Amino acid sequence: MSPDPTRRELIKLGGYGALAAGLGPAALRPDGGQTMASRPGHFGGADRVIWIFMNGGPSQVDTFDYKPALERYDGKTYEGFDKLTGFFPAEVGPLMKSPFKFTQHGESGTWMSELFPHLSQRVDDMAFMYGCHAESNNHSPALLHMNTGMPRAGFPSVGSWVLFGRGSENDSLPGFVVMTDTKGRGLPKGYAQNWSAGFLPGVFQGTALATQGDPIANLLKPGGMSDAEQQRQLDLIRRLNERHGDEVRLGSELEARTASFELARRMQTAAPEALDVDSEPKHIRELYGLDDPRCKEFARQCVTARRLVERGVRFVHLYSGGEENQKSWDGHLNIESHHRGFAGEFDKPVAALLQDLKQRGLFDNTAVVCCGEFGRLPVAQKKPDGDSIGRDHNPDVFTAWMAGAGVKGGTHHGSSDEVGHKAAEGKVHVNDLHATMLHLVGLDHERLTYRYSGRDFRLTDVAGKVVREVLS
């Protein structure tokens, strides 16, 4: 090539770059990275993932991480505490014990809060990581970090990376499905950026489904249109997009758009059946709490998640709680009533999901992950009225748990310090958590890459290690 490359030579180089992007995941993608076709990972692993997200940041010392020292130090000043750790430094109070009783459960002797009477019966199926830590004490960047590996917008989400690496086993349903709060409490901070495909091809974008009413707005064809008429319309759209793509060289973007139209056509039949939770038999409705006013909304999400993975959907992401501050697990005010309320929505459906996956033979091929974007502080957050006592944000430690395929149930890994303020042993960074999630689904986080803007990107950036202590 000449020292001053011509336009033709630059276009040729661009073509080589696109080919390299397809070869990024170590020859996982012979199709060039554009289709949703199912494919094996780098090694054996789960075929599907359900990620249960406790949106807003639950308090680890009131849920999964028992700290008896807080009972001894309750009401005492926390010497040397950096008030800038949380989000409201002017509202820092003394150390505060948990208002909830902890007891041990299962053969593993796992300590669990009284908030989870149903989930505590499944602890021998779960592996707990007590030394997890993040970087931001602000919801928006913390959510993006947990969902995409970066604390800023524009990067692919975990579900998109998994779908890119493994494809989907069902061509009539989205391969990556997201369900958010259904009680009118809003979307998580960052909104759809949390399930974005970022710079990956658009076909790997997460699809937000409603568990009530129409699953996707405008999914059903207009009244009076026959199947043949709709197919002719889709054929015309494809021809127009192909002609436009040849002119403006936006092939991958237009292919993704055309594929979305065609997927929507197939979903018109598949989605209503897959989301028909009301067809579940009485014993399943009772197991999940579908008729229990306290937890029925999140129960629908959990039943839907089981129905979707049963039908080959690769990645399902559930959000417990909506936007921040009392509408999610963001317990700034009365931690006792606040967490009791959200746990009441969460406990029975999640325990039922684990049990149901097991009894249907899906547990050994489905990885279940649960966490929030950060934890809470061991000190009280005292509002000016003196009565609303909660806990502020804490990025320095939180608890995550996993269950299902590839997970060593009954495992306790790492720890926080004496009062649950910071990760102490067996530290697990967000990058490590992502590396482990990818490993569970048979993907090597260092090999799953995509070339964009002149460099190879991966979910874990240039860090991350698999937490092998929780693996079977």
Contact assessment for residue 261 and residue 234, using Cβ atoms and an 8 Å cutoff: yes
For residues 400 and 128, give the distance between their C-alpha atoms in angstroms, rounded to a whole number.
6
The token pair that represents 280 in the structure block: 């579940």
Beta strand 389-390 with 92-95: parallel, antiparallel or unpaired? unpaired
More confident position, 22 or 412:
412
More confident position, 266 or 345:
345
Mean pLDDT of 7-33: 37
Q: Does domain 22-215+275-470 have CATH number 3.40.720.10?
A: yes
For residues 330 and 323, give the distance between their C-alpha atoms in angstroms, rounded to a whole number.
9
More confident position, 173 or 264:
173
pLDDT band at 34 (very low <50, low <70, confident <90, very high): low
| Least confidently predicted of 26-40, 302-316, 438-452 | 26-40
Residue 230 to residues 19, 226, 248, 414: CA-CA distances in angstroms? 35, 6, 27, 56
* pLDDT tens sequence across 86-105: 999 999 999 999 999 999 99
pLDDT band at 7 (very low <50, low <70, confident <90, very high): very low
Mean pLDDT of 102-109: 98
* pLDDT tens sequence across 421-439: 999 999 999 999 999 999 9
* Predicted local confidence at residue 30, as pLDDT: 41
pLDDT band at 4 (very low <50, low <70, confident <90, very high): very low
| pLDDT over threshold 50, residue 21 | no
| Least confidently predicted of 258-267, 301-310, 448-457 | 258-267
Mean pLDDT of 25-29: 40
Residue pointed to by tokens 């008896």: 68
| Least confidently predicted of 183-192, 296-305, 394-403 | 183-192
Residue pointed to by tokens 């974005």: 196
* Predicted local confidence at residue 25, as pLDDT: 38
Task: Report the share of the chain in percent with pLDDT over 70.
Answer: 80
pTM listed for this prediction? 0.86
For residues 85 and 36, give the distance between their C-alpha atoms in angstroms, rounded to a whole number.
43
* Predicted local confidence at residue 37, as pLDDT: 86
* pLDDT tens sequence across 176-230: 999 998 787 888 999 999 999 999 998 899 999 875 666 665 555 566 666 676 6
pLDDT band at 262 (very low <50, low <70, confident <90, very high): low
* Predicted local confidence at residue 11, as pLDDT: 32
The token pair that represents 333 in the structure block: 């005010």
* Predicted local confidence at residue 1, as pLDDT: 41
Mean pLDDT of 250-278: 65
* Predicted local confidence at residue 29, as pLDDT: 45
Task: Report the share of the chain in percent with pLDDT over 90.
Answer: 70
Residue 297 to residues 116, 181, 300, 346: CA-CA distances in angstroms? 17, 8, 5, 10
Q: Please give the mean pLDDT across all residues of the chain.
A: 86
More confident position, 20 or 437:
437
Alpha helices in 149-206 (DSSP H): 158-166
| pLDDT over threshold 90, residue 142 | yes
| Least confidently predicted of 160-174, 289-303, 333-347 | 160-174
| pLDDT over threshold 50, residue 24 | no
Contact assessment for residue 293 and residue 300, using Cβ atoms and an 8 Å cutoff: no
| pLDDT over threshold 80, residue 57 | yes
More confident position, 338 or 10:
338
| pLDDT over threshold 60, residue 251 | no
| pLDDT over threshold 90, residue 172 | no
* pLDDT tens sequence across 115-139: 999 999 999 999 999 999 999 999 9
For residues 136 and 93, give the distance between their C-alpha atoms in angstroms, rounded to a whole number.
21
* Predicted local confidence at residue 51, as pLDDT: 98
For residues 301 and 298, give the distance between their C-alpha atoms in angstroms, rounded to a whole number.
5
Mean pLDDT of 333-337: 93
Residues found in the chain: 472
| pLDDT over threshold 70, residue 468 | yes
Beta strand 428-429 with 126-133: parallel, antiparallel or unpaired? parallel
